[in-house]
Structure 1
Amino acid sequence: MDTPESSGSKLSRKHLVIIVVVLLLGAVGAAFILRGGGSHAEGDGHGHGQESSKAVEAEGDGHGHEETPKGDAKPESDSASKEGAEGGGHDDEKVALTDAQIAAANIEVKDSSSAVIRTSLQLPGEIRFNEDRTAHIVPRAAGVVERVSANLGQRVSKGQVLAVISSSAVSEVRSELQAAQRRRELAQATYERERTLWEQKISPEQDVLQARQALREAEIAQANASQKLKTLGASANASALGTVELRAPFDAVVVEKHIAIGEAVGEDTNVFTLSDLSTVWAEMSVGAGDLSKVLVGERVRVKADAADVVAEGKIAFVGSLIGAQTRTAPARVELSNPKGAWRPGLFVTVEVLTNDNDTASAVTVDSSALQTVEDKLSVFVRVDGGFQARPVRVGRSDGQRVEILDGLKAGEAYAANGSFVVKSEQGKGSATHAH
């Protein structure tokens, strides 16, 4: 039979074991709690909840095998992070724009198509007068200006009087002509009388021959005086002996005027410059390395950005000599100018179409569609809900169309005019996502 002392000893021993077990469980729980708090400090909020719950479960079942569930939870978190990153990268590639926004931004959407691309050589040039239809009016005899009837910028017709000059030299020649005419008339009458007398057997034949010789000499003198007057630019039947009229040689425009009433002018003074502006020349300088591409008869396109005019023509002349200083040769194109849009002195760009091959390129886009995205030449392709930048490899270009060698298929819709707006929207989206 147990004594009270032995019963109390057994009870105290059981209590001691329970206390030790409780303390051990408490220590294990505290360790889990401390470990979970460290994970939270590292920035993984979800991991803290998971560690706390596993610590509680470990306390409940008394096993404390927390390492295995913790290891399983970490890969799931990493996978979720990777999926989120990939999803964000895909959203950045597309520029979201609705149809209404596209229309409001004036973004023109076109389909890539085949076209003939002709490469060109661009040369700077200048519009000049057509020298074949430009006249410098110079008095052929010195004198004093009596009348001026043409003004600067005036259109004149062929034969129209521009000015009248009084010249003593013209007066002398015209007097000589009139005297020669009178002598020829007298010689003509004398010859006819002597011939009649000879036919009637009254005068000898020698008198007839002498009269004929005098007539021929008078005719030569008259012709000589007439030619002198013509050389001076004066007409034979003027009202005054010394007047000479300056007339327009063809239909033209007065582009220069250096004459006034009462002014004394010399026989080498350029008093008027007339030019027929219905045609002009586009002159350019061709480098020695490009002469093989610039040939007479080659098709060209002439553009003037300042006047916003474009015309096509053919090369009419290429110089044979290369300048010693410039190392270039002159060339020119004759252009029709019915409306006067091509003004002499206007700077132009002459595009020599060096490739007349009519073979069409399979895929081409407008030049305005090309944009640089992340240091790559790209085209913004139309997709559902907006546009997407597509890197491309380009080929030939004529300034208006560009050949696409790789990166785009025929028939795909793309942003043409206004593609820079799409690029701007893409930049805004990238900045917002980074923030």
Structure 2
Amino acid sequence: MQLIKPLYWILVGTCLAVSPLLAAQDRDDASNEAQQTAPETKGPHGGLLLERDSTTVELQIFEQGVPPEYRAWVTKDGKPMTDGIDLNVQLTRLGGQEDTFDFAFQGDYWLGNGVVTEPHSFDVEVTLNQNGEQYHWQWESHEGRTRIPADIAKKAGIQTNEAGPGSIERTLTTYGQLTIAPEQIARVRARFPGVITKVNVRLGDRIAKGDLLAQVESNESLKIYDLRSPIDGVVTERQISVGEIAGEQPLFAIANLATLWAELRVFPGQRTQVAVGQKVFLKAEGVDEQATVNHLLPSPDNAPYTLVRVEVDNPDGTLSPGLLVAGDIVVEALDVPLAVENRALQTFRDWTVVFAQVDDAYEIRPLELGRSDGTLTEVLDGLQAGDRYVVDNSYLIKADIEKSGASHDH
């Protein structure tokens, strides 16, 4: 909450600043002088009313049942003008994109030639040529926009990425558990039958290759010989105590837990989608990593599933066999020309948006979205490759814009 308040006051301050674009205008001819402030008066059709001498232009973005379009009503001395004029609207958007609209009379109003795409946030310049006279009106019409100085954005943890191509991954979710591969377990027996004279390890002890496990007095030679560990690992079984007779049975089991295996179950309807070498995202308590499908094995006891074996590194021995694990197997990767990170997406009004950044300005970009996975979402419209958009802490910008009370009023 301490971050939002300073950003909000920055927003308030910047809303009061005069646009450099507007400040640069300097017209000598009073009849051609541009109106520098946003019109406040509404005309009879609900549009903005632009007035100069005895000429008026009512300008409206109409979006009821049609894509947003410009409509205008022009009068001279109170009489509708249906011909003999040249009306033009130029919109300059954040980042410098310019949209130009020329108008043709449609019987009841003048219609601009094109769609006024969202967001409706731009600097507006209206030019009217009428019987050799030219009039200009110019103002800012910003919505869903705020300005945040770079140092404040850095302190707030606002980070951006560049929009570009991505790979949307379709995954198959499977479940299983961690196991030890049989070849990673060493069972130690006595070389010669005899009496156990010393046991040097307990269950759970971590030992290195060559460490002393026990000593045995041979029945034949009555000499004592050592039993040593053949591998690094953990003592998982101890079947003998001092004074007992060592025969052919295993005395110790040593398991190398540096590597475990996730054995995931894939059922017949899923089997054709899975192959060795596919990427897997493993999740469990203490596990959140990317791995690879190493083997596909028949299930034990003819159970109706296939075992997908995935190697899991466990250098610190923190993971235990038997731990339940989920695996998202990437069964398809779709390359798309434009994608954004899911964590950047926010809701704004009835849109899904990201916040585009140009210098110290941030503005909504309503998006048309396509396919998605847990990380990326395809963008079909609303953003261009190379645009920078906010990824981290975009909610702060959303809070600033919402506090500004910006309306969708044209």
TM-score by length of structure 2 reads 0.55
Structure 1 residues 262, 153: CA separation in 2 closer, same or farther (over 3 Å shift)? Answer: closer
Of 129, 142, 150, 1:99 maps to: 150
- Residue 348 of structure 1: how far off its partner (Å): 4.4
Of 204, 207, 219, 1:155 maps to: 207
From the two aligned structures, give the one with the greater strand fraction: 2
1:350 and 2:327 equivalent?
yes
Q: Which residue of 2 aligns with 1:299?
A: 278
- Residue 274 of structure 1: how far off its partner (Å): 0.9
Encode CA deviations 1:189-235: one digit per residue, 9 max, x unaligned.
Answer: xxxxxxxxxxxxxxxxxxxxxxxxxxxxxxxxxxxxxxxxxxxxxxx
Q: Which residue of 2 aligns with 1:71?
A: none
Structure 1 residues 138, 407: CA separation in 2 closer, same or farther (over 3 Å shift)? Answer: farther
Structure 1 residues 266, 108: CA separation in 2 closer, same or farther (over 3 Å shift)? Answer: same
The percent identity for this pair of structures is 24
Distance in 2, Cα, partners of 1:355 & 1:251: 40
Structure 1 residues 280, 259: CA separation in 2 closer, same or farther (over 3 Å shift)? Answer: same
Structure 1 residues 80, 345: CA separation in 2 closer, same or farther (over 3 Å shift)? Answer: same
Structure 1 residues 77, 339: CA separation in 2 closer, same or farther (over 3 Å shift)? Answer: closer
Distance in 2, Cα, partners of 1:268 & 1:422: 73
- Which structure has the higher relative contact order (CA within 8 Å, separation 6+)? 1
1:252 and 2:232 equivalent?
yes
Q: Which residue of 1 aligns with 2:370?
A: 395
Matched residue of 1:147: which SS? Answer: strand
Indicate if the aligned counterparts of 2:167 and 2:333 stay in contact, CA closer than 8 A.
Answer: no
Larger Rg: 1
Encode CA deviations 1:26-65: one digit per residue, 9 max, x unaligned.
Answer: xxxxxxxxxxxxxxxxxxxxxxxxxxxxxxxxxxxxxxxx
Indicate if the aligned counterparts of 1:298 and 1:352 stay in contact, CA closer than 8 A.
Answer: no
Q: Which residue of 2 aligns with 1:418?
A: 393
- Residue 154 of structure 1: how far off its partner (Å): 2.5
1:112 and 2:144 equivalent?
no
1:364 and 2:344 equivalent?
no
Distance in 1, Cα, partners of 2:354 & 2:245: 68
The one-letter amino acid paired with 1:253 is G
- Residue 165 of structure 1: how far off its partner (Å): 4.6
Of 248, 251, 254, 1:274 maps to: 254
- Residue 306 of structure 1: how far off its partner (Å): 4.8
Structure 1 residues 156, 93: CA separation in 2 closer, same or farther (over 3 Å shift)? Answer: closer
Indicate if the aligned counterparts of 2:280 and 2:292 stay in contact, CA closer than 8 A.
Answer: yes
Structure 1 residues 107, 276: CA separation in 2 closer, same or farther (over 3 Å shift)? Answer: same
Distance in 1, Cα, partners of 2:47 & 2:194: 99
The one-letter amino acid paired with 1:411 is G
- Residue 162 of structure 1: how far off its partner (Å): 1.5
Distance in 1, Cα, partners of 2:299 & 2:235: 31
Structure 1 residues 385, 334: CA separation in 2 closer, same or farther (over 3 Å shift)? Answer: closer
Structure 1 residues 314, 425: CA separation in 2 closer, same or farther (over 3 Å shift)? Answer: same
- Residue 294 of structure 1: how far off its partner (Å): 1.8
Structure 1 residues 423, 329: CA separation in 2 closer, same or farther (over 3 Å shift)? Answer: farther
The one-letter amino acid paired with 2:390 is A
Indicate if the aligned counterparts of 2:344 and 2:394 stay in contact, CA closer than 8 A.
Answer: yes
Q: Which residue of 2 aligns with 1:214?
A: none
The one-letter amino acid paired with 1:310 is E
Structure 1 residues 321, 374: CA separation in 2 closer, same or farther (over 3 Å shift)? Answer: farther
Q: How many residues align?
A: 282
RMSD across aligned positions (CA): 4.3
From the two aligned structures, give the one with the greater helix fraction: 1
Encode CA deviations 1:86-105: one digit per residue, 9 max, x unaligned.
Answer: 89996553345343432222
Structure 1 residues 308, 321: CA separation in 2 closer, same or farther (over 3 Å shift)? Answer: closer
Matched residue of 1:293: which SS? Answer: coil
Matched residue of 2:332: which SS? Answer: coil
The one-letter amino acid paired with 1:156 is A
Indicate if the aligned counterparts of 1:322 and 1:328 stay in contact, CA closer than 8 A.
Answer: no
- Residue 290 of structure 1: how far off its partner (Å): 1.9
Distance in 1, Cα, partners of 2:44 & 2:302: 73
Structure 1 residues 321, 404: CA separation in 2 closer, same or farther (over 3 Å shift)? Answer: farther
Q: Which residue of 1 aligns with 2:172?
A: 121
The one-letter amino acid paired with 2:183 is D
- Residue 281 of structure 1: how far off its partner (Å): 0.9
The gaps in structure 1 that reach 5 residues or longer are: 1-75, 175-237
The one-letter amino acid paired with 2:369 is V
